[in-house]
């Protein structure tokens, strides 16, 4: 099976471009295994869209073989792959996802995605390694809980964690963030680390950064604005306007290969 590898701020994906490959949870987990497979936080399979508003469907899988509605870093990498294979005309492309059609806009090494609005679902709580955290539940099509802490670097994200299973019956992506006051305006910069549903700790999560941006603005009593979110793998920029949430960041294709199954 031929594949391409790519990443967005260190959140890495195996890209498959053969619709005849029968993907199963087991195969995805094998491909994503960093020792016995190719390695990745997830798989992006390129499929034709069945709807009228986009030509391509991003079939996203987490590294454990589970599906998600949306992946913000993945869709930029997917857009970069479509561009690299000559499937983009002009400077934007519409991409179908399980959360509906999103548009990617190309701007040099950055790709800007219209992610749709962040939906605030109220407050909730989580535990990590026996400590309690409270946060804001936010949907970006997929579920997030954003908890503010004083120092993200001190957290052990490999510790056991739990969350409100009634509010998040299908699991949750758990973001921890702190205002980066050293950089200036407290509502404008956040440092973030994440435990992703279905992938564990990753170097970045695009939908998670959108949720962090929305939470930072809400905490400051703002409805619109821009928040820079620094993740272990780089920087994402979140802009929330009256109608939508924009996610901007890099997307890089790193290598191609062939794997024998
Ligand atoms: N890394 C992604 C999010 C991938 C899906 C997530 N793990 C979930 O299950 O919802 C991103 O960049 O948004």
Q: What is the pLDDT of residue 7?
A: 99
Q: What is the mean pLDDT of residues 69-98?
A: 98
Residue that is written with structure tokens 């619709």 in the block: 19
Confidence of residue 184 (pLDDT cuts 50, 70, 90): low
pLDDT tens per residue, range 47-63: 999 999 999 999 999 99
Pocket test for ligand 1, best of 113, 168, 207, 231 (most atoms within 8 A of CB): 207
Q: Are residues 6 and 47 in the same domain?
A: yes
Q: Computed from CA positions of residues 162, 97, 238, 224, in that sequence, does the dihedral angle turn out positive or negative?
A: negative
Rounded to a whole number of angstroms, the CA Rg of the chain reads 18
| Widest distance between CA atoms in the chain | 53
111 inside domain: no
100 annotated to a ligand binding site: no
Active site residue 177: no
> Would the CB of 141 count as within 6 Å of ligand 1?
no
pLDDT tens per residue, range 130-149: 999 999 999 999 999 999 99
**What ipTM does the predicted assembly reach?**
0.99
Confidence of residue 200 (pLDDT cuts 50, 70, 90): very high
Structure tokens at 91: 């400077």
Enclosing domain of residue 183 = 119-243
**DSSP percent split of the chain into helix, strand, coil, nearest 5:** 15, 45, 40
Q: What is the mean pLDDT of residues 153-162?
A: 98
User: Residue 90 contacts by C-beta under 8 Å, 6 or more apart in sequence?
Assistant: none
Confidence of residue 180 (pLDDT cuts 50, 70, 90): confident
- The total number of structural domains that make up the chain: 2
| Cβ-contact 118, 240 below 8 angstroms | yes
Q: Are residues 130 and 173 in the same domain?
A: yes
114 inside domain: no
72 annotated to a ligand binding site: yes
> Would the CB of 38 count as within 6 Å of ligand 1?
no
> Euclidean distance between the first and final Cα of the chain, in Å?
7
């Amino acid at each position: 099976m031929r594949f391409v590898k790519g990443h967005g701020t260190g959140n890495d994906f195996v890209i498959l471009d053969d619709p005849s490959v029968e993907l199963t949870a087991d195969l995805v987990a094998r491909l994503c295994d960093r020792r016995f497979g190719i390695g990745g936080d997830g798989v992006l399979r390129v499929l034709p869209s069945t709807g009228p508003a986009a030509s391509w469907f991003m079939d996203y899988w987490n590294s454990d073989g589970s599906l998600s509605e949306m992946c913000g870093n993945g869709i930029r990498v997917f857009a970069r792959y479509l561009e690299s294979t000559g499937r983009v005309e002009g400077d934007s492309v519409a991409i179908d996802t399980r959360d509906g059609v999103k548009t990617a806009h190309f701007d040099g090494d950055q790709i800007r995605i219209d992610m749709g609005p962040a939906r605030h679902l109220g407050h909730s709580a989580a535990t990590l390694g026996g400590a309690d955290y409270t946060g804001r539940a936010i949907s970006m099509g997929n579920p997030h809980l954003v908890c503010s802490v004083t120092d993200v670097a001190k957290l052990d994200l490999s510790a056991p964690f739990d969350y409100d299973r009634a509010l998040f019956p299908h699991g949750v992506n758990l973001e921890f963030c702190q205002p980066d006051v050293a950089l200036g305006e407290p509502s404008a910069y956040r440092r973030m680390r994440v435990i992703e549903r279905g992938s564990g700790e990753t170097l970045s999560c695009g939908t998670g950064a959108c949720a962090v941006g929305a939470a930072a603005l809400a905490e400051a009593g703002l409805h619109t604005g821009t928040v820079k979110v620094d993740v272990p793998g780089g920087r994402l920029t979140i802009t929330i306007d009256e109608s939508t949430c924009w996610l901007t960041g890099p997307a890089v294709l790193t290598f191609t290969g062939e794997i024998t199954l």
